[in-house]
Amino acid sequence: MPQFSGGPVEFMTSDDIELKRGDGWFLSYTKIAGIVVVFIIGVVAAGFLGWYINSLPKKEEFDSVDLSDDEIEGAVDETLASPFVIPLKYRLELIPIIDVTGSSRLKGRVVIDFRVNDTTGLDRITLNAGNVTVTNYKLSNLETPMKKRRSIIVYVSSGSSEFNDFSGGRVLRSVNDNSTEDSIQEDAETENASEATTLAEADNQTTATETTITTTEQPITVTTTLKPTTVQTTTQTIVETGSLPTDDDSSRIPIASYDVDEDKKILTIRLDSQIQQGVYELDLEYETAMDEGEFFIANYTEDMWLMGTRLRHSGAKYLFPVFDDTVHKSVFSVSVARSKETRVLTNMPSSTLRDTTDGSVLETFNDSVPLSTNELAFLMGHVKPMNETVIGNTDAVATFWCESNRDLHDSYLLDKLGSIVINLIDVFSLAYPLPKVDIVCLPPGIDENMASPGLIAIKQSLFNTADKSSLVVKSRALKDLINLMGQQWFSELVNVNRSEEWILGGSLIHFQHRIVPEIDPSSNLADSFLVDVQQYVMEIDGYTVSRPLRENVNNHLLESLNDEYAKGACLIRMLHGAISDTAFRNGYKKLINRWRYNATDLADFMNILKEETELPDKISLEEAMNSWISQGGHPLVTVMRNYEERSITVYQEQFSLDKPSESTSKFWQIPLNYINSTGNWSSPTTLWFPAEPRITFYHVDPNDSWILFNVNKTGYYRVHYDEKNWMLLKAALAENHELFPVETRASLIDDVFSLAAMGVMKYEAAFAFIKYMQMRERHYQPWAALTRHMLKLSRLLYETSVFNDFQEYIVKFVSPLYNETGYKLEEGSELTMVAIELACVFEHAECLDWAKNIFQNSTDDEEIEKSVPSYVRETFYCTIARYGTRKEWNYFTEKIRSTEDEEERKRLLSSAACFQAPWVLQSILSEILQGRFKEDEIPVILKSFPRNPAAAQVASRFVRANWPEIAQRFAGSYPILKSFVLSMVNGLTTEQDMEDLLIFRENNYDSMKGTRYAAALVEANGNFVTTWLKNSLAQIENILKVKA
């Protein structure tokens, strides 16, 4: 290798190396910089892309519990009026303009005296007003001294003021009149002392005047026949002498503007300047349409009608602008214009009548006791007084009203009214609180009872109940009248928060069942609360998605309160059983007296009851009740006996049909009671089960004695026992079932089949338990309890191979009962009703022949109605429909179209879902969507679909396929939308059905707002059905093989 020598290069070498490109990269600085820039741009772009994707609306993932919560959280909160305003008195002048064949409306004027308690001042006033158009308004300060002026002339242009002072026969103040001649002191007497003092001072500052009125027009002309009322007003000149405020009087408060929020039903009046604490008067003239939901108008005959209000749930905002206050009550002064051939009834007695020159009548009524706004009511129409009677041992007068003179000597309700009032006085330990009560017979087109203080309207079939009526009809009429009369105490005296209305509503349901046997002991009408109320409530409350009572109540969803009232009744009944009867009665007496004309809540009620009873240490009545109302569902109490140690361990868990294997953390404070074979049924042993998984106690019973918990099922829970105790109970029933009270027998039957459905008890044991019933049980309640469970099993088995075998099994089981009682139609006992239902549903040959013969041989509808009593007519119609073809369907459609009796029409509508032909069921649903039925009839139809598995399956497919159109057609009508969703119950029987439901729910999540809890119930029931078919069907198949 050559080398260079000399100097630095001496050490350099020279090789014959050839440089070649290998596998590496040669990058310049420029390339490296470019790569870095591209990388940074990519990172930034990825970040923006991630942010964008994350910001997109995601499809919500949810389960059934999420759905049960959604309806509450997603609903628009109810908006109330100005919170610092306390209404004191409303003065109402009403002119109903009735057109039976078209649209009716109402013109009115309301003058509201109210107090402002806001120390910071108000620059606006908000009232609740639904579909109300205000035409004139004025605001005045009642505490400002008014300046004197000798005379003033007020000019009212035509149409601007159409109202007369009905109490004095003179023209009412126009919008420019600031007189305050009404006695504010009278208003104050109904309020608390501080309000009374302030109002009296305001009255003293107002100078009394002598008033002379000259009218240049004829008074209002009112024609309330089939044609609309005509109201004619010409120019008025009113001359008053004495003291009147001038236009610049300091009592007049300028109003800047007003607007109406149609969605929230809120009228906002904006002021030029703030108003401070004090007493004010708001004067409004308005018009409103008489919508079907808040008013009713129906005919007795072609020329005779009745109209009235139904504001209990919707509120008075549809009658007049109102401070819809749920805390404070107010005094109402009502005047109504009517024709001479009609009558007007309202909460209070009539005070004055004034004839006008054109033959009309101006009627004014006494000032009311303090009432909540939704308790105000009035009726107007062609009614006459039939009978007057002093009720009970009071001075109050009850008047029965109907469309024509009628002899009421055999009226069952008239005969029992006195006993009802006496028993309710005994319950509340308080006299009847009102001066009168009017009981009005509704036209046949109204199938709804209504009650307000001093005014009751009942459907025609109940009003016409006679002593010779069937026992079922008399029982229903008696229960309804007890409830309606009981509302006279609660509605007039006590207010509750709307989220706790179940306290009073539930109490009335409890009382109405409790006192029926005392009012009519001769008719053998027993307390049927267990099978009429509690069994139904526990069934719908038996899923993991069950909701608590204590939750926000939205005004759009108030139609569902009946279920809340029913569960509330179960809890009130349990509470009554947990403390002494004396303590319970004293508690209600204190509740009414202490909170008279004021608002109360559960805490007040519990504190009062606590004063009347002694409870074990560490037990708080309020905490105990909170454990029941703050969580949904109900407990299953399992009693396990150690026969050697004579001890009992009691466990609690949530009863759940849809997910029985899952453990939950729900626990209740349970008032237990129990008895053994030697115990006293009227005084069982009691103890409290704290909110924990289990308790153990000792020294209870000998080994050969049965033990029974929850005597008469006064507690809102189910009970399960160890196998030996079940055997002891079954043997005791077989030996002498009459040793057990009838409610307890019904409770045991309900529990054994509920436990079998849940999967914790074998169906073989359940059917063995009821074996004694076939030949020996002849009381309504045990058979009613059994009927509900047999109908459920029939639906579960509908598409199985053993369906016909099960039908035959039940026919054999029920035949002895049907043969003994089925022919006693005229007597009409509840046992007869149940026997006919069981026999016809399960295809007893004689029952089917009875229905077919009547249908084929009757020449007209009147003959059918004579042959089939009303209490079994729905069973009759359903039997005809179940085996019907096009001929029967044509009969149904024609009769539904032609009948004017709404109660009979609803029987037909409810029975239409009994058809088996899919085309008939499909056509019913399509006609609903096309608007062929009234809105209050649609839930009646849809509610009947789950009772027929074929109908439920058609409904499930129809709702999924047509939901967008349904949601649009009935937008905002929550009861109807819920009814559509719930019609799918029992229509989901396979895993594919459940998958289809989940897809449907996911695709329509937004449009199902307000119905998602109903969807959760459908899913929960579907889970139960599919699980039951997997786990329990084989048990039924084995039982039927053995019986064959």
Each residue's pLDDT tens digit, 298-351: 999 989 999 999 988 778 899 999 987 666 789 999 999 999 999 999 999 999
Helix (H) or strand (E) holding 126: strand 122-128
Tell me how far CA of residue 457 lies from CA of 92, 390, 439, 461, 485, in angstroms.
22, 19, 6, 12, 11
* DSSP codes joined into one string, 216-283: -S-------SSSPP------EEEEEES----TT-TTEE-EEEEEEETTTTEEEEEEEEEE-SEEEEEE
pLDDT band per the 50, 70, 90 thresholds, residue 14: very low
Burial class (CB in 10 A: 0-12, 13-18, 19+), 851: buried
Residue 222 pLDDT exceeds 90: no
Residue 419 pLDDT exceeds 60: yes
Give the dihedral sign, CA 130/135/139/142: negative
Helix (H) or strand (E) holding 903: helix 902-912
Helix (H) or strand (E) holding 130: none
Residue 206 pLDDT exceeds 90: no
Position 70 scores a pLDDT of: 52
Of 2-11, 283-292, 446-455, the least confident: 2-11
Q: What crossing angle do the helices spanning 471-493 and 581-594 adopt, rounded to 10°?
A: 50
Token pair recorded at residue 885: 């073809």
Position 493 scores a pLDDT of: 62
Q: Which of 437-441, 586-590, 607-611, 825-829 has the highest mean pLDDT?
A: 437-441
Q: By percentage, how much of the chain surpasses pLDDT 90?
A: 60
* DSSP codes joined into one string, 215-235: --S-------SSSPP------
Position 51 scores a pLDDT of: 58
pLDDT band per the 50, 70, 90 thresholds, residue 526: low
Q: What angle do CA 470, 476, 480 make, to 5 degrees?
A: 145
Q: Measured between alpha carbons, how far is 78 from 149 in angstroms, rounded to an integer?
A: 46
CA dihedral in degrees (899, 901, 907, 913; nearest 10)? 40
Residue 19 pLDDT exceeds 50: no
| Mean pLDDT computed over every residue of the chain | 83
For 761-811, what is each residue's pLDDT tens digit? 999 999 999 999 999 999 999 999 999 999 999 999 999 999 999 999 999
Q: Measured between alpha carbons, how far is 491 from 739 in angstroms, rounded to an integer?
A: 41
Residue 64 pLDDT exceeds 70: no
Position 207 scores a pLDDT of: 33
Token pair recorded at residue 843: 């295809």
Q: Measured between alpha carbons, how far is 433 from 370 in angstroms, rounded to an integer?
A: 12
- If one compares 331 and 61, the residue with the highest pLDDT of the two is 331
**Whose structure tokens read 């009511």?**
377
Q: Measured between alpha carbons, how far is 99 from 119 in angstroms, rounded to an integer?
A: 48
Q: Measured between alpha carbons, how far is 903 from 820 in angstroms, rounded to an integer?
A: 30
pLDDT band per the 50, 70, 90 thresholds, residue 939: very high
Fill in the amino acid letter for 998.
Answer: L
- If one compares 243 and 353, the residue with the highest pLDDT of the two is 353
Position 26 scores a pLDDT of: 55
Mean pLDDT within 432-448: 94
668: Cβ contacts below 8 Å, ≥ 6 apart? 627, 628, 631, 634, 635, 652, 689, 691, 717
Of 195-204, 384-393, 479-488, 646-655, the least confident: 195-204
Q: Measured between alpha carbons, how far is 220 from 391 in angstroms, rounded to an integer?
A: 38
3-class state of residue 948 by DSSP:
coil
Burial class (CB in 10 A: 0-12, 13-18, 19+), 1030: exposed
Mean pLDDT within 273-289: 94
Tell me how far CA of residue 54 lies from CA of 50, 154, 894, in angstroms.
6, 68, 58
Position 563 scores a pLDDT of: 85
Residue 938 pLDDT exceeds 90: yes
Whether 591 contacts 604, CB under 8 Å: yes
- If one compares 235 and 325, the residue with the highest pLDDT of the two is 325
Position 3 scores a pLDDT of: 41
For 695-717, what is each residue's pLDDT tens digit? 999 988 778 899 999 999 999 99
Position 198 scores a pLDDT of: 38
For 661-689, what is each residue's pLDDT tens digit? 666 679 999 999 999 999 999 999 999 99
Q: What angle do CA 178, 181, 184 make, to 5 degrees?
A: 105
Q: What angle do CA 551, 554, 555 make, to 5 degrees?
A: 145
488: Cβ contacts below 8 Å, ≥ 6 apart? 432, 433, 434, 437, 451, 453, 454
Q: Distance of alpha carbon 326 from its chain centroid, rounded?
A: 17
For 132-174, what is each residue's pLDDT tens digit? 999 999 999 998 654 433 333 333 333 334 444 433 333 333 3
Sheet containing 694-698: which strands, arranged edge to edge? 694-698, 647-654, 635-642, 718-721
Residue 727 pLDDT exceeds 70: yes
Quick one: which of 1033, 1027, 1036 has its CA closest to 543? 1027
Q: Measured between alpha carbons, how far is 184 from 113 in angstroms, rounded to an integer?
A: 8
Q: Distance of alpha carbon 421 from its chain centroid, rounded?
A: 25
Alpha carbon distance, N-terminus to C-terminus of the chain: 115
pLDDT band per the 50, 70, 90 thresholds, residue 1044: low
Position 497 scores a pLDDT of: 66
Position 315 scores a pLDDT of: 82
For 399-415, what is each residue's pLDDT tens digit? 999 998 677 778 999 99
3-class state of residue 133 by DSSP:
strand
Position 38 scores a pLDDT of: 67
Residue 848 pLDDT exceeds 60: yes
Position 63 scores a pLDDT of: 52
Residue 994 pLDDT exceeds 80: yes
Strand-pair category, 85-97 with 331-339: parallel
Q: Measured between alpha carbons, how far is 105 from 102 in angstroms, rounded to an integer?
A: 10
Mean pLDDT within 110-139: 91
Residue 744 pLDDT exceeds 70: yes
Residue 61 pLDDT exceeds 50: no
Rounded to 5 degrees, what are φ and ψ at 991?
-65, -35
pLDDT band per the 50, 70, 90 thresholds, residue 499: low
Of 171-185, 403-417, 563-577, 743-757, the least confident: 171-185
Quick one: which of 380, 377, 402, 371 has its CA closest to 310? 377
Mean pLDDT within 837-847: 97
**Whose structure tokens read 């179209």?**
897
pLDDT band per the 50, 70, 90 thresholds, residue 196: very low
Position 145 scores a pLDDT of: 52
Residue 501 pLDDT exceeds 70: yes
Rounded to 5 degrees, what are φ and ψ at 910?
-65, -30
Q: What crossing angle do the helices spanning 412-428 and 471-493 adopt, rounded to 10°?
A: 40
Q: Measured between alpha carbons, how far is 180 from 200 in angstroms, rounded to an integer?
A: 13
pLDDT band per the 50, 70, 90 thresholds, residue 861: confident
